[in-house]
Copies of this chain bind each other. A is one copy, B any other.
Amino acid sequence: MFTLSEENYLKTIYHLSLETSNGISTNAISNQLQTKASSVTDMIKKLSDKKVLAYKKYKGVTLTGFGKKTAANIVRKHRLWEVFLVEKLNFSWDEVHDVAEQLEHIKSPKLIHQLDSFLGFPTHDPHGDPIPDADGNLKTIEKSLLSTLLKNECGICVGVNDSSSEFLQFLDKKGIKLGKKITVLDKEEFDNSLSILIENKKLSISNKIANNLYIQKS
């Protein structure tokens, strides 16, 4: 069994591992968790003793199979709870993360199994992120940043890169929701801003926004 702190380290290392194929550095972890590098070294030793991390001094860490499964299960819980909050308790997608950060640590296999079933076995959370299955496997879908689409290309909005409440509320204000079709009408060379069509409305989108929206091309 893992402590709350151990679980948070595991989850962070799991997320970092999905981005970079190399070992995860002490500093990368400390940046993410807002702790000091020395604290990370201490925790790495503990987690390595518990067989969830492979660690060689100064060489960074990688998750073991067991570690990967353990971490994926925490992410699974986080995302299932986010679905619950949005679908059943009428939270908006910018309000769920902090509560899910707490709920993901609840220990009860039956609870998570029943919750999954109650929610109809969802595959993605409210931000479009995939929910690992009970064995910790993720199925990733083909998706591209909106900023990489060319003029006249289109696709379905399937996720966000930035899930801060500021960005999510901004999307709400603009009427941009997951599942909607987006067409790139024009692309401005000067500042890489886009003119897009969504639900018969024309919108002007800055590059910063386009860099944080995922599209499944169609």
Chain B residues, CB < 8 A from A36: none
- Whether, in the assembled complex, A83 has its beta carbon less than 8 Å from a beta carbon of chain B, the answer is no
Helix, strand, loop or mixed for chain A's interface? helix
Q: Write the chain B residue with the least CB distance to A115.
A: B89
Within 8 A of B (CB), among A96-141: 98-99, 102-103, 106-108, 110-111, 114-115, 118
Contact of A99 among B89, B95, B102, B111 (CB under 8 A): B111
- Whether, in the assembled complex, A2 has its beta carbon less than 8 Å from a beta carbon of chain B, the answer is no
Chain B residues, CB < 8 A from A99: 106, 108, 110-111
A93 to chain B, nearest CB (A): 14
- Whether, in the assembled complex, A91 has its beta carbon less than 8 Å from a beta carbon of chain B, the answer is yes
- Whether, in the assembled complex, A88 has its beta carbon less than 8 Å from a beta carbon of chain B, the answer is yes
- Please report the total number of A residues contacting B with Cβ < 8 Å: 18
- Whether, in the assembled complex, A85 has its beta carbon less than 8 Å from a beta carbon of chain B, the answer is yes
Chain B residues, CB < 8 A from A5: none
As a 0/1 sequence over residues 172 to 197 of chain A, the CB contacts with chain B under 8 angstroms (1 = contact) are 00000000000000000000000000
Chain B residues, CB < 8 A from A85: 111
- Whether, in the assembled complex, A90 has its beta carbon less than 8 Å from a beta carbon of chain B, the answer is yes
Within 8 A of B (CB), among A60-113: 85, 88-91, 95, 98-99, 102-103, 106-108, 110-111
Chain B residues, CB < 8 A from A118: 88-89
Cα–Cα distance between A106 and B89 once the two chains are bound (Å): 15
A112 to chain B, nearest CB (A): 10
A43 to chain B, nearest CB (A): 20
Cα–Cα distance between A20 and B118 once the two chains are bound (Å): 41
Taking Cβ atoms with an 8 Å cutoff, the residues of A that contact B are 85, 88-91, 95, 98-99, 102-103, 106-108, 110-111, 114-115, 118
Give the 5 A-B residue pairs with the shortest CB-CB distance, closest first: A89-B114, A99-B108, A102-B106, A99-B111, A89-B118
A/B interface sample: 12 pairs, CB < 8 A: A88-B118, A89-B114, A89-B115, A89-B118, A90-B114, A91-B114, A95-B110, A99-B106, A99-B108, A102-B106, A102-B108, A103-B106
